[in-house]
Structure 1
């Protein structure tokens, strides 16, 4: 891209944040004009800690949060988010997992699902003074250490075993598992399971599974024929995949495959599987 210089740095996630944070990225960009991007729905939830020009949320297709932010957190979305960065953008991006977001923020995931929110409203210690510390730090390693130390100090109690088990089964299946079958295995009512899961993760099990399936399918777009991608990921047909791609990404499969680039504003990969518990959690 003419007139753009970009620096992307990735360092390993602290072991104490495994399962809560899928990755941490340092990102710096200089451009002749503001840059716009569209981020499809996905299972990695960005916590963007800026120390450059403000970041603008232009559109939230399936939620709310349009506005200009220094640092922000995006909850679990069921549609794309359009962004615009300034000419001099710099940040540390932390990709939280659906199980990690409530533990690190200290608020149930349903409170900010489908929403973009200013970080200072959720985690005051990561507000403006923290942005100044990031700007003054002499290295990306120093910035990463600041961010991860703050998050480690905030890590709360583990997720409800039922929620962790459900998320594990959903991600293991690539979003193709039948939710009613999972509910039947738990012995709880469908209403109870949905309520407990949505409180922590933000979306219902069915909605979360839809995002997981789309995310896995999107990773194959451009590598395989669309019809093969649809069959591999459990869509009824190519038209079904196309409808879901427009719903979650805001554009059809061919356009999404053509527009994706490996930048810090694209997902780092597929979602972690979360808890590895094999059995159904026992009822109290």
Structure 2
């Protein structure tokens, strides 16, 4: 039987990062063999700052970026990604919101959407040399302080108010709001709104709403009958939900529920729930 040991710690988000970072998690894993996971699409985008063995992205179902990484960012994905961790994996994961990517990393979300990108190529100061600082830190608290201090110094100007408003309306409706009705409320053309939103968030409003709705529905899978989940989240029927689950998670609802992966705070197989800080 394969031996696996894990350490998971969490720190509340610094007030200065509210709305940009949904959580920060420290994760260390030792295993006799590499471990593989499939991560469904979701609205939290993991910035993985590693200081252990490289991490392999085996497949990006609806994008690009397969390869081996130290530290990396997974952009807003419209589909699942499969990963494989080394025998000794250690990292600090920052769960960025789509708006947080633009403000904290200083680049449009569309440049990294549907992609996994090495941090050295995006933000060199958080790359290889920063990984060394994380490895040398004596405690998780020190690592969290390093990460959050680095992010706070990078916080740029707020995004376009139009984009923030539209994102809030999409998430507030659980992905069920009619995009054309929201566009009409803005008074701008559909092309202008879509282009502005996609530049910052990474996906079009319609595509982003699809991920939001799936994420909310996935959180109910295993707690409620599939037909009830479909009705509660505005799917036409159970078959519609099943098709979307396969599209966004790479497996049907029953398998996704059994795997215990569908939470709003899951990234690359690691969840910040039920942890401690040392």
Q: Could you state the TM-score of these two structures normalised by the residue count of structure 2? A: 0.94
Q: How far apart, in 2, do the equivalents of 1:266 and 1:219 lie?
A: 16
**Secondary structure of the structure 1 residue equivalent to 2:46:** strand
**Secondary structure of the structure 2 residue equivalent to 1:236:** coil
CA contact (8 A) 2:8 2:272 kept: no
CA contact (8 A) 1:42 1:267 kept: no
Q: How far apart, in 2, do the equivalents of 1:136 and 1:102 lie?
A: 29
Aligned counterparts, 1:111-190, within 5 A: 111-190=111-190
CA contact (8 A) 2:24 2:272 kept: no
CA contact (8 A) 1:58 1:83 kept: yes
**Secondary structure of the structure 1 residue equivalent to 2:141:** helix
Q: Which residue of 2 aligns with 1:31?
A: 31
Residues 230/268 of structure 1: CA separation in 2 closer, same or farther (3 Å cut)? farther
Q: Which residue of 2 aligns with 1:274?
A: none
Q: Kindly state the Cα deviation for residue 267 of structure 1 after the two structures are TM-superposed.
A: 5.8
**Secondary structure of the structure 2 residue equivalent to 1:256:** helix
Aligned counterparts, 1:263-274, within 5 A: 265-266=269-270
**Secondary structure of the structure 2 residue equivalent to 1:175:** coil
* Count of equivalent residues: 269
Q: How far apart, in 1, do the equivalents of 2:30 and 2:216 lie?
A: 32
**Secondary structure of the structure 1 residue equivalent to 2:98:** coil
Q: Kindly state the Cα deviation for residue 50 of structure 1 after the two structures are TM-superposed.
A: 0.4
Q: Kindly state the Cα deviation for residue 266 of structure 1 after the two structures are TM-superposed.
A: 4.4
Q: Which residue of 1 aligns with 2:235?
A: 235
Q: Kindly state the Cα deviation for residue 12 of structure 1 after the two structures are TM-superposed.
A: 1.1
Q: Kindly state the Cα deviation for residue 13 of structure 1 after the two structures are TM-superposed.
A: 1.1
Aligned counterparts, 1:49-68, within 5 A: 49-68=49-68
Q: How far apart, in 1, do the equivalents of 2:88 and 2:270 lie?
A: 19
Residues 135/56 of structure 1: CA separation in 2 closer, same or farther (3 Å cut)? same
CA contact (8 A) 2:10 2:272 kept: no
Q: Kindly state the Cα deviation for residue 113 of structure 1 after the two structures are TM-superposed.
A: 0.4
Q: Which residue of 2 aligns with 1:81?
A: 81
Residues 214-257 of structure 1: CA distance to partner in whole angstroms, max 9, x if unpaired?
Answer: 00000000000000000000000000000000000000000000
CA contact (8 A) 2:179 2:206 kept: yes
In structure 1, the gaps of 5 or more residues are 270-284
CA contact (8 A) 1:36 1:84 kept: yes
In structure 2, the gaps of 5 or more residues are 274-278
Q: Which residue of 2 aligns with 1:256?
A: 256
**Secondary structure of the structure 2 residue equivalent to 1:99:** helix
Aligned counterparts, 1:203-218, within 5 A: 203-218=203-218
Q: Could you state the TM-score of these two structures normalised by the residue count of structure 1? A: 0.93
Q: Kindly state the Cα deviation for residue 260 of structure 1 after the two structures are TM-superposed.
A: 2.0
Q: Which residue of 1 aligns with 2:107?
A: 107
